[in-house]
Amino acid sequence: MSSDILKNLNPGIEDLNPYEPGRSIEEVVDEFDLDEVVKLASNENPLGASPKALSSLTELKNDLHLYPDGNGTKLKKEIAFHENVSVDNIIIGNGSNEILELAARTFLNPNTSAIASKHAFAVYKIVTQSAGASLIEIPTLNWGHDLDSFANYLEQNTKVIFIANPNNPTGTYNSHKEVHTLLKKVPASVLVVLDCAYFEYVTKADYVRPIDLLKEFNNLIITKSFSKIHGLASIRVGYGIANPSLIEVLNRIRQPFNVNAIAQAMASIAINDKEHIQQSIKLNSEQYEFLFNQLSKLGLECIPSVGNFISFKGGFTGQELFYGLMKKGVIVRPVDLYDMKDFIRVTIGTESENLKFIGAIEELL
């Protein structure tokens, strides 16, 4: 069969690799004939979905033949209340990834560039190059975003800057002051995307206060996710917060019914489930300490993280440890895609999941 069709790829797509999701439990159970597998690979919430959101599921069945609310009226109202902004400041997406993509499609084209840190969340490169634009990658400082140097890399054609705060897979974060200083240096015509998918997990006093920044900068969009603290990764819902004129242009290219009715209904409840949010934060803080200490005692080098995951390395390649752990029923994530071939990223699980993981690592080292 001729592959002429592949000669017509849009610019930027040729050297992209598909995003590699974590292996699923079912796949690994089948492949290795295991009875019990724990998944600590995709930074999901080990406590599961918000129980209050789950209990609303049965009520939805009478309306499944109807299109979802294309305006996301109720969910946007709940988000606006939670964030203390107006409904006009909100756009909802099929995961916060969709908001990243909408931002790229709105401002990037083959004559433009975007900026992101090296080792930053993989989707920035995918959405930038899918829009035909080039990505300028900025060297990191202690694995974190070196925001002080970002403005030095701005080119005439730079239209978007992506900041992952905290970043995945490094778990590093930037302070309010660092983000503010960068925003002051960036031309008002350049969009700054502040990706706060792990916002709720961060307990640092100097962490960014995104809504304060929004009051000062019209070229800022903040993105947040229901996939992490709320435990709703499978229903795909996230949101963006920005000034109303920016939200309005993003809405022009948004698919009409991008967030399904189940996702809208469950997210509307989850955002108010304070108990689940608090329990998730508490578990994560306690188990982070436990995992960080255990891994360090085993002589492994961990990057300090403010998220719900830790990246670490030792005397192995990430792929070796990944396969070794998988055979023992623990799925983690190699991070070759992030140019971190010696590292493994592990999601912070429940106490028993973490014990299983540490036990398996001890056997392998």
Ligand X SMILES: Cc1ncc(COP(=O)(O)O)c(C=O)c1O
Which residues contribute to the site for ligand X (CB under 6 A)? Answer: 43, 95-97, 121, 164, 168, 195, 197, 225, 227, 233, 238
Q: Closest approach of Cβ 8 to ligand X, in Å?
A: 29
- Rg of the chain (C-alpha set): 21
- Contact yes or no for 190/160 (Cβ under 8 A): yes
> Is 225 or 287 the residue whose CB approaches ligand X more closely?
225
Q: Closest approach of Cβ 115 to ligand X, in Å?
A: 16
> Is 114 or 360 the residue whose CB approaches ligand X more closely?
114
Q: Closest approach of Cβ 343 to ligand X, in Å?
A: 15
Q: Closest approach of Cβ 280 to ligand X, in Å?
A: 15
Sequence-ordered list of residues with C-beta below 8 angstroms from that of 331, at least 6 positions apart, any chain: 22, 23, 25, 28, 37, 38, 39, 40, 41, 325
What does the alpha-carbon distance between residue 228 and residue 267 come to, in Å, rounded to a whole number?
12
> Is 45 or 225 the residue whose CB approaches ligand X more closely?
225
Q: Closest approach of Cβ 245 to ligand X, in Å?
A: 24
Cα-based distances in Å from 38 to 41, 318, 362: 9, 18, 16
DSSP secondary structure code for residue 170 in this structure: T
What does the alpha-carbon distance between residue 199 and residue 228 come to, in Å, rounded to a whole number?
9
104 SS3 class: helix
Q: Closest approach of Cβ 316 to ligand X, in Å?
A: 24
Q: Closest approach of Cβ 6 to ligand X, in Å?
A: 28
> Is 12 or 95 the residue whose CB approaches ligand X more closely?
95
Cα-based distances in Å from 28 to 31, 56, 66, 211, 332: 5, 31, 37, 42, 11
> Is 104 or 358 the residue whose CB approaches ligand X more closely?
104
> Is 195 or 273 the residue whose CB approaches ligand X more closely?
195
The values of phi and psi at residue 38, to 5°, are: -110, 145
Looking at the chain, how many residues does it have? 365
* Neighbour tally for 157: CB within 10 Å: 14
Which residue of the chain is nearest ligand X when measured via CB?
A: 95
How is residue 161 written in tokens?
Answer: 């800057």
> Is 121 or 322 the residue whose CB approaches ligand X more closely?
121
